[in-house]
Amino acid sequence: MKSGNVNKSTYIRIFKLIKPSIPWVILSLIMASLNVFSSLYMPVLIGRAIDEMIGAEKVSFTAIKEILLSFTVMIIVNALSGYIMTSINNKVAIKTVKDLRISLFNKIHSVPVSTIDSMGQGDILTRLISDVERLSDGLLLGFSQVFTGVLTILATLVFMVRINLMIAILVIILTPVSLFAASFISKRTFTYFKKQADLQGKLTTYINENVKGVRVVKAFNSEDAVFDEFKDKNKSYSKANLKALFYSSTTNPVTRFVNNLVYAGVGILGGILGIQGRITIGTLSCFLSYANQYTKPFNEISGVFAEFQNAVASSARIFEFLDKENRADGDEESFKLESFEGNVDVKDLSFSYDKNKKLLVDITFSVKKGDHIAIVGPTGCGKTTFINLLMRFYDPDKGDIYIDNNATTRIPKSILRKNIGMVLQDTWLKEASVLDNIRYGNPDATLEEVMEAAKKAHAHSFIMRLENGYETQLAADGENISQGQKQLLCIARLMLNIPPILILDEATSSIDTRTEIKITEAFETLMKGRTSFIVAHRLSTIRNADLILVMKGGNIIEMGNHTELINRKGFYYELLTAR
Amino acid sequence: MRKLAVFLKPYRFQSIIAPLFKMLEALFELFVPLIMAGIIDEGIKLKDYDIIKRNGLILVAFCITGLVCSLIAQYFAAKVAVSFAESVRNALFKKIINFSYENIDRFGSSSLITRITNDINQVQNGVNMVLRLLLRSPFVVFGAMIMAFTVNVRAALIFVVLIPLLFIAVSLITIITIPLYAKIQRSLDTLTSHVRENLTGVRVVRAFNQEAREKEEFSDDNTFFANTSLFTARISAVLNPITVIIVNVCMLVLIYRGSILVNTGNLTSGQVYALVNFMSQILVELVKLTNLFITINKAFASAGRIGDMLDTENALSDEGAIDAKELPDTESIISFENATFSYPESKEAFISNMNFVIRPGETIGIIGGTGSGKSTIASLLMRFYDVTGGEIKYKNKNIKELTLSSLRNSYSYVPQKAQLFSGTLKENLKLADPDATDEELLNAVRLSQCAEFVEDKGQGLDMPILEGGANLSGGQKQRVCIARALVKKAPILILDDSSSALDYATDSRLRKGIKTLKNLTTIIIAQRINSIMDADRIMVLDDGDIAGFDTHEKLLDTCAIYKEIYNSQKAFTE
């Protein structure tokens, strides 16, 4: 579990979270008190009834009837208050979770992309799902349990003291035993659980890797070696697992033992006091039933306590994400331009992800509307980074990119992005129908328009061969279609509404050559009159570009068209002739 | 289900001990109210201190034996559950790594992982709880009822009404809520995948300015989840008040009847106390029993999923096979003879009647469109899948007659998807050959063009590799995979589109390096014509058929598809 510092403000913010529900919480607490009171009062009534049963022919039925009437009232109070209390708690918990998840999700779309990249997707996902869950379990439901538990203990003590001081004192003396047992076990359990969780993490990682990479394992015939290692890891996990499981399962027997000890003590002392006539049989029965349930709340509280700590840690992690700075944006009101011509000027642009590792250094060039710019260079030369900056997923450290003489830092992102279309290196599709995926950027597009776009992208024919055509549902990450088909869909998505500036980021790298020919043709019509940046390995695309930016080590080292660069016999020439 | 029971067999003894001691403990608990009734009726009423002392000591003795019994029971239950889970986990893992490709495809790797982690934990929990409670709880419920009858038959009649009533209420609500909880889980899954989708696609969402819509869709899913949770919570919240009402109404009846019986001299107040106590015991045990049902239900669902996998037979078997290493050298190292293959659940043949021969030492290029069958050929060669018709031969022997491991040892394979394991570079390379020397490893590192970045990181072969190769770029991962394959030194090397992320210069150096290896038959599958142009022969695939199989120059003359590919990618060599 990563970071998330718990401090005073964490508690204040947790309180703020619940604040809108305070009236409900108060009502819930009142109901809890009624519930505790009525459950404790019922044994008293039973005791009184028993006291009325002195012997044959001596039972006072009028008294019994009265007692039973009160008993009926208590049943109703207890059942009702219990139901209302649970309902309110659930409602408050579920509503808080709901609101919290909404703010967390909205936050995802408010922070800069760099925040998501640096935190890691898994981490954010955990905060949004598991941490929120833990918060609601440990904090909201735990709170009501602790409250009920503490109230029960206190009220039981008060009831006991009022009924008979001597027996009450006996129970109070035995209380620390119960507390001691509970804390001893929970400490032990905690240590072993931690160890178990640690080993479980290792085991899971091992499983993950080898199941995902099972094809490689098989190709190298290393099934036996892998299995032996798994067996060792499994064994050490199971050992820790047994200890954790056993220690945690001693909680019940041990507290039951303490309980029974209290019960026996009350029985003996009650018996002696009974003979001396200082206590009635009914009172004794009432005491015994208290003794029977006395340690239960201790148990629950100690159980909830660990959860409570987890919940506070979780909420700290939630708040940490909510506190991330939102991305800066240009002023939408004052920015008049809706669409651009497509003239792009890059001036003194510098950028790095890591301060110690310079990536883009002082880049300057300018392109006119309708130019096609090919960006080439070895892997890791900063091509993708350049795109990140143009789309303003990241902010430059120095300098800026200007579109039609407007600094991109000043252009509201919604307008900027409306004017730039892209097909990214990693294809991304939604878990939705093919139709909805293609019209992702234009939800109002008709089926005809979508089909038209798909035809242009040469996606139509494969879509028609899918089980349900355009209505086919794509699985998560588009796992039910091939990589090439995924890219075709991404291209079709762009075809539907072609903006003045295009970014084609290795879009065709896993589409087969024959399809690619058709796509290249389609792209040429698409790019006509539009400023296009193309990151590509393929020569055919590069050759036709108006400007080629040759990048190496994060900087542009050569610039010009194909013939110029070839004649220069520099790095570009080297790149292309190396075969 | 029965499949799983087998794993419990070695722990038969412990599996009997655990519930036995649990019942022993319960037995003591059942006698406690009677002993207390003795204190009341004989001790207090007859003013006999000895009885109080005697019964009190019995109670304390019960406490201690109860604790010992239940600790023994808990230990053995935990022991059985954990050992059981450990052996199921081993069996399952072994099953998975020996699965055929067909089975891996069928289950999907994420589902396989869930089964071996989550599902086993559920079953373990189920076994543990069953051993502890399945016998104990009904024993207490019926035991308490029988005890009540021994106290007084007429007063105990109310128990006959109470138990079925409680049982019906409790199980009714459980039955109603179990599918609802499943529904909650499903909608939480939807929510999770929605968030994941938005995280991975954050750039696209923003590029298309769809933040508002995504938020709205999430809000819908989130509301649905909240409403489902609320509805379920409302129903299960009824359970507690209902049991409270049932038990206490019965208590009311019991007290009323008790008072009549006491009045007629057929019952003592100590006995009334004992009856009241038995009733509370029944309530406590029934609640435990419901929780047990929920656990068992979950465990059964999980056990079914695990059983599914254990039942799955691997299509390939090794019986009576011979070792590929023993085969004498022949004119052809690989041959396809009328090989036909169709993927399971697909009607049409993917490859039909394919024939070709590859000679030892040849470098073969394979090129063709997506879905033309390039990777399928590689999979068939190593028997990741079996042909559905015809034969594939290795050194003139049908590969089905060879042991699987010796067949696969004949190939160094570089998969399309670069798959690395967390550990060091050395560990990753040694996967191919555990006995390889450092010198051999370094040689492979050089040949595969890894040397540069390995030197850059400055740790040599001890360079750490994170889970999934997260600390390497795509091209670097591919090169490490190639190095790994080279370490294996098998007679045939297959590069399955595995240099796609490399730039021209590196790719070219790589191929030149591989060419220096003597006696190596190389199969290069590629999308880029540059990668295969220099091959001895090039196979052009089109829709599962061989459209041409010849040298680069001849194909340019004879194969229209090849020419088309060439023209589209043609580099200008002036």
Closest to A294 in 3D by CA, of A266, A318, A325, A334:
A266
Tell me the helices (H) and strands (E) count for chain A, helix number first.
23, 10
Task: Please name the residue that has the structure tokens 């899913």.
Answer: B221
Contacts of B39 in chain A (CB under 8 A): 267-268, 270-271
Per-residue pLDDT tens digits for B464-489: 888 777 778 778 888 999 999 898 88
Contacts of B240 in chain A (CB under 8 A): 82-83, 86
Mean per-residue pLDDT over chain B, rounded: 85
Residue A328: which residues within 8 A CB-CB, separation 6 or more? Answer: A395, A409
User: Which whole-number Å values give the CA distances from A329 to A57, A384, A524, in the listed order?
Assistant: 90, 22, 33
Q: Do B90 and A285 touch (CB under 8 A)?
A: no
Count Cα neighbours of A42 within 13 Å in the Cβ-side half-sphere: 25
Q: Which helix (H) or strand (E) holds B339?
A: strand B334-341
Query: Which residues of chain A, if any, have pLDDT below 70?
Result: 1-5, 140, 306, 330-334, 336, 378-383, 424-426, 476-480, 483, 505-519, 521-522, 525, 537-540, 553-554, 577-579
Count of Cβ atoms closer than 10 Å to residue B50 Cβ: 9
Contacts of A441 in chain B (CB under 8 A): 208-210
Average pLDDT over residues B441-445: 91
Contacts of A49 in chain B (CB under 8 A): 255, 259
Least CB–CB distance from A227: residue in B94, B415, B476: B94
Least CB–CB distance from A218: residue in B43, B265, B408: B408
Q: Measure in Å the smallest separation between the Cα of B565 and chain A Cα atoms.
A: 6
Q: Name residue A349's beta-bridge partners.
A: A363
Task: Indicate left, alpha or beta for B66 from its phi (over 0: left) and psi (-120 to 50: alpha).
Answer: alpha
How many interface pairs between A and B have CB atoms less than 8 angstroms apart?
428
Tell me which DSSP letter residue A544 carries: T
Task: Please name the residue that has the structure tokens 């019209």.
Answer: A439
Q: Do B503 and A477 touch (CB under 8 A)?
A: no
**Higher-pLDDT residue of B105, B448:** B448
Q: Which two tokens stand for residue B115?
A: 């089964």
**Cβ atoms A351, A511 nearer than 8 A:** no
Indicate whether B79 pLDDT > 90: yes
Average pLDDT over residues B532-560: 88
Q: Name residue A366's beta-bridge partners.
A: A345
Q: Tell me how far apart the alpha carbons of residues A530 and A400 are, in angstroms, rounded to a whole number.
A: 21
Q: Which two tokens stand for residue B411?
A: 């190939």
Per-residue pLDDT tens digits for B239-260: 888 888 988 899 899 999 999 9
Helix axes A281-294, A142-163, angle to 10 degrees: 150
Count of Cβ atoms closer than 10 Å to residue A228 Cβ: 11
Which of A48, A95, A218, A486 would best serve as a mutation to test chain B binding (most B beta carbons within 10 A)?
A: A218
Q: Which two tokens stand for residue B546?
A: 């061989």
Chain A, 472 to 511: residues with Cβ < 8 Å from chain B are: 476-477, 482-485, 493, 509-511
Per-residue pLDDT tens digits for A301-345: 777 776 777 788 888 888 989 998 887 776 666 676 777 888 999
Closest to A1 in 3D by CA, of A215, A389, A315:
A315
Q: Do B85 and A97 touch (CB under 8 A)?
A: no
**Cβ atoms A497, A530 nearer than 8 A:** no
Q: Please report, as a single letter, which amino acid is at residue A418.
A: K
Per-residue pLDDT tens digits for B387-425: 888 999 999 889 888 888 888 888 888 887 777 888 889
- pLDDT, residue B359, reads 92
**Higher-pLDDT residue of A546, B566:** A546
- Compare all CA atoms of chain A with the CA of B259 and give the residue at the minimum distance: A53
**Cβ atoms B28, B66 nearer than 8 A:** yes
Least CB–CB distance from B207: residue in A231, A422, A512: A422
- pLDDT, residue A2, reads 43
For chain B, percent of residues with pLDDT exceeding 70? 96
Q: Tell me how far apart the alpha carbons of residues A270 and A287 are, in angstroms, rounded to a whole number.
A: 9
Per-residue pLDDT tens digits for B500-535: 777 777 888 888 888 888 888 999 998 778 888 888
Q: Tell me how far apart the alpha carbons of residues A291 and A103 are, in angstroms, rounded to a whole number.
A: 47
Please indicate if any CB of chain A lies within 8 Å of the CB of B424. Answer: no
Contacts of B104 in chain A (CB under 8 A): 214-215
- Compare all CA atoms of chain A with the CA of B50 and give the residue at the minimum distance: A272
- pLDDT, residue B219, reads 93
Chain B, 443 to 502: residues with Cβ < 8 Å from chain A are: 467-468, 473-476, 484, 488, 500-502
Domains and CATH numbers, chain A: 8-322 (1.20.1560.10), 344-577 (3.40.50.300)
- pLDDT, residue B572, reads 37
**Cβ atoms B221, B190 nearer than 8 A:** yes
Query: How is A525-537 classified by DSSP, letter by letter?
Result: HHHTTSEEEEE-S
**Cβ atoms B224, B128 nearer than 8 A:** no
For chain B, percent of residues with pLDDT exceeding 90? 24
Average pLDDT over residues B360-381: 83
- pLDDT, residue A378, reads 66
Question: What is this model's ipTM?
Answer: 0.79
Q: Do A430 and B197 touch (CB under 8 A)?
A: yes
Q: Do A87 and B233 touch (CB under 8 A)?
A: yes
Indicate whether B345 pLDDT > 60: no
CA B209 to chain centre: 38
Indicate whether B171 pLDDT > 90: no
Least CB–CB distance from B222: residue in A98, A214, A261: A98
Q: Do B55 and A482 touch (CB under 8 A)?
A: no
CA A170 to chain centre: 49
> Residue B183 in 3-state DSSP?
helix
Q: Tell me how far apart the alpha carbons of residues B53 and A271 are, in angstroms, rounded to a whole number.
A: 9
- pLDDT, residue B1, reads 59
Q: Tell me how far apart the alpha carbons of residues A333 and A414 are, in angstroms, rounded to a whole number.
A: 12
Q: Name residue B354's beta-bridge partners.
A: B339
Helix axes B474-488, B438-447, angle to 10 degrees: 130
Closest to A37 in 3D by CA, of A171, A170, A148:
A148
Helix, strand, coil in percent for chain A, rounding step 5 = 65, 10, 25
Please indicate if any CB of chain A lies within 8 Å of the CB of B197. Answer: yes
Please indicate if any CB of chain B lies within 8 Å of the CB of A405. Answer: no
Q: Do A275 and B43 touch (CB under 8 A)?
A: yes
User: Which whole-number Å values give the CA distances from B232 to A102, A340, A386, B179, in the listed order?
Assistant: 21, 53, 51, 10
Q: Please report, as a single letter, which amino acid is at residue B405.
A: S
**Cβ atoms B367, B547 nearer than 8 A:** no
Instruction: Please provide the size of chain A in residues.
Output: 579
Q: Do B219 and A443 touch (CB under 8 A)?
A: no
